[in-house]
């Protein structure tokens, strides 16, 4: 008799615990804004994240996607996260230097040799330490995605030598290091929000721009650009971040759902992005673009030209941070 009563009590407690756990997940909709178009690996990762959150929350948490800069450029979106009017975004990690100066280190030219090096650094102590600095800025880091290596396109001429960049009006992201980088190379660097870029290229307000091949393809820049050069000048880790105002309203169970979904989506997105990068260049050729591969001697000239930029931002970011990053990269390469 006592055994049956005990079993009944245990079963009832289990039911109550499950009900309590379910109650910790509230019905809510999270707006996820980003710059690239549907079909791009960034958008594929966002959709995977949305699907995972829905499945793990039994449909209670909906992630609504806003691709293509529908809610504004990156800086505007970060401000919206801080205000709590948009909940999630993914963007070039270096853009967060407007919030925490140390994030500019991710935009150092010729920093990583491949995406795997970047993964090891961003997933490790260095990347997580930088994410921790965002908490006081109203942001919470969830993971780092892949955008790939950036390359230069333009409508004027092939860039076959380091000096060929000089004189071109190149759109860059709204980050000071990009402006200094291309001005140092002799270009006229023009910062613009991404949603304004296609029309600026179409109207010849700028001669060219720089982005990974997957972005060049999905944004249909081949329609308004003739030449693409594989400069591979910067590798972009993408920061997946959530509004801290939203994060702080979540229960522990909801936070686990979001964190676990972000982790799984990160693995998926990196694979999707790197797979797409392999085929994007061929697709750009098929779209009529002239592709130029810079010889190693010209890449070496670019590296030499940009050293003053690295020195300048090492001083402003802090030598200790840069040394810490370089030590992490060296550890990965060993």
Structural domains in the chain (count): 1
pLDDT of 90 higher than 70: yes
What is the per-residue pLDDT for 22? 46
What is the per-residue pLDDT for 14? 47
pLDDT, mean of residues 299-305: 95
Give the Cα-Cα-Cα angle 281, 283, 289 (nearest 5 degrees).
75
CATH label of the domain that carries residue 50: 3.40.190.170
How far apart are alpha carbons 78 and 68 in whole angstroms?
A: 15
What is the per-residue pLDDT for 20? 46
pLDDT, tens digit, 9 for 90 and up, residues 153-196? 999 999 999 999 999 999 998 889 999 999 999 999 999 999 99
SS3 103: helix
pLDDT, mean of residues 259-267: 98
Owning domain of residue 187? 2-333
In 215-293, the DSSP E strands lie at 227-230, 235-243, 290-293
How far apart are alpha carbons 130 and 149 in whole angstroms?
A: 21
- Cβ atoms of 244 and 139 closer than 8 Å: yes
User: Which of the 8 DSSP states describes residue 37?
Assistant: P
Could you tell me what percent of the chain has a pLDDT over 70? 93
What is the per-residue pLDDT for 6? 57
Total Cβ atoms within 10 A of residue 256? 14
- For 278-299, give the DSSP string: HHHHHHHHHTTPEEEEPPHHHH
pLDDT, mean of residues 128-139: 98
SS3 233: coil
pLDDT, tens digit, 9 for 90 and up, residues 103-122? 999 999 999 999 999 999 99
- Global pTM value: 0.86
């Amino acid at each position: 008799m006592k055994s049956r009563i005990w079993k009944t009590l245990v079963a009832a407690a289990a039911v109550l615990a499950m009900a309590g756990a379910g109650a910790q997940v509230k019905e809510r909709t999270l707006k996820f804004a980003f710059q690239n178009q549907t079909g791009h690996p960034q958008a594929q990762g966002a959709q995977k994240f949305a699907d995972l959150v829905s499945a793990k929350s039994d449909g209670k948490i909906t992630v609504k996607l806003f691709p293509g800069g529908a809610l504004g450029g990156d800086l505007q979106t970060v401000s919206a996260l801080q205000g709590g009017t948009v909940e999630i975004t993914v963007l070039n990690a270096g853009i967060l230097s407007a919030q925490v100066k140390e994030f500019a280190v991710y935009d150092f030219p010729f920093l990583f040799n491949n995406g795997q090096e970047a993964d090891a650094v961003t997933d490790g102590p260095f990347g997580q330490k930088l994410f921790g600095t965002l908490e006081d800025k109203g942001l919470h880091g969830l993971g780092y995605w892949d955008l790939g290596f950036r390359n230069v396109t333009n409508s004027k001429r092939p860039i076959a030598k380091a000096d060929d960049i000089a004189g071109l009006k190149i759109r860059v992201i709204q980050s000071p290091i990009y402006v200094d980088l291309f001005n140092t190379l002799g270009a006229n660097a023009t910062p613009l929000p991404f949603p304004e870029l296609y029309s600026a290229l179409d109207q010849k307000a700028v001669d060219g721009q720089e982005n990974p091949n997957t972005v060049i393809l999905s944004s249909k820049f081949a329609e308004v650009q003739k030449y693409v050069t594989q400069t591979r000048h910067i590798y972009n880790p993408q920061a997946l971040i959530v509004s801290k105002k939203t994060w702080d309203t979540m229960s522990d169970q909801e936070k686990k759902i979001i964190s676990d979904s972000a982790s799984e989506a990160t693995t998926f997105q990196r694979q999707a992005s790197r797979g797409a990068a392999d085929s994007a260049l061929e697709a750009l050729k098929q779209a009529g673009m002239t592709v130029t591969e810079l010889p190693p001697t010209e890449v070496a000239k670019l590296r030499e030209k940009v050293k003053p930029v690295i020195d300048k931002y090492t001083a402003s970011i802090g030598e200790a941070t840069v040394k810490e990053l370089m030590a992490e990269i060296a550890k990965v390469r060993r």
